Amino acid sequence: MKRSIFSICMLFITAVIVSSDQSKELNGIVGQSVEFTAAVKNKGSLRYNGVPIGDVTNGGFTAQSEFTGRLQWDRSSGLFSLSELKDKDSGKYEVQNTGPVITTVFQLSVYMNVSKPHVSVTSNEYPCTILCTVERGTGVTLSWYREGEERPYSSSDSLDAPYLKLPQAVDKGGIYTCEAKNFVSHETDSITVEPHCTGSSTGMIVGIVIGFLVFAIIGFVAGFCYSKKCPNATSAGQPNGKGPEVQPDASKYRAGPPECSQWKRNQMNHQTETQFSVQGL
């Protein structure tokens, strides 16, 4: 009977320890503070990557020299806190309470706030390229968004600044926004891509030139074909510049297609009127 009770107690204690050993994620910001939410009322300690950095005994607190001034213990709440966070403070922290024995594990990640991204056009001729850069930040992800679209146009891996950049070739004009973010901060900046970056204006100019050439070729071909159908259209009845024009002789006009007949009659009438006018003078 006693053995059974002892076994049950051991299982209960083991269950408590296993459940408390599950790590809790904490995110901190460089220069700020973080609190470990596991109380030590009378006796216990705080470990950083397996090394004791703070000790509570009989209600008194001492911190290791490296953390003096930054690591505190609140007597009333029993909570540890770490201020003036640095990048190197990231790691595994264990709060150990000895009465009863409970160990609570925290995984602290210290981030630096991202700076406002800088956006620019690095290639100002079709096809244009836009560039987003960030000078400061920890675990930063860059993303390009196009106006009117919710999904990112492109994104980078999570990296640490500086020298973090995301270039992107563009195939459509409009406003593009670069977003820089990590777990503790978020910044954006935008740029307008002009139509010439996407080939829109170039395509329009090319279309106008091609259209003009097409119309010119059609006009030339039409004129050439008409002159072939009416061979005397440009020579009969022309003045020689030395005297009055001579009445055209209808016999000089070779028979041609019906569409030339009206033009011939108009030419003869015009020549007759011109001759009478000259004689009247």
Which of 168-172, 179-183, 204-208 is predicted with the least confidence, judged by mean pLDDT? Answer: 204-208
Instruction: Residue 91: give its domain's CATH number.
Output: 2.60.40.10
Q: Which of 59, 82, 111 is the last residue of a domain?
A: 111
Residue 181 lies in domain: 118-198
7/94 same-domain check: yes
Helix H segments across the chain? 2-20, 200-229, 258-280
Q: Which of 85, 111, 137 is the last residue of a domain?
A: 111
75/157 same-domain check: no
What's the mean per-residue pLDDT of the chain? 78
Residue 270 corresponds to which amino acid? H
84/130 same-domain check: no
Task: Check pLDDT > 50 for residue 192.
Answer: yes
Q: Which of 111, 135, 150 is the last residue of a domain?
A: 111
pLDDT 10s digits, 64-108 = 999 999 999 999 999 999 999 999 999 999 999 987 889 999 999
pLDDT 10s digits, 218-256 = 766 666 665 655 555 444 444 554 555 555 554 554 555
Nearest to 75 by CA among 39, 47, 37, 32: 39
Number of domains in the chain: 3
Confidence at 9, pLDDT banded by 50, 70, 90: very low
Nearest to 174 by CA among 190, 156, 151: 190
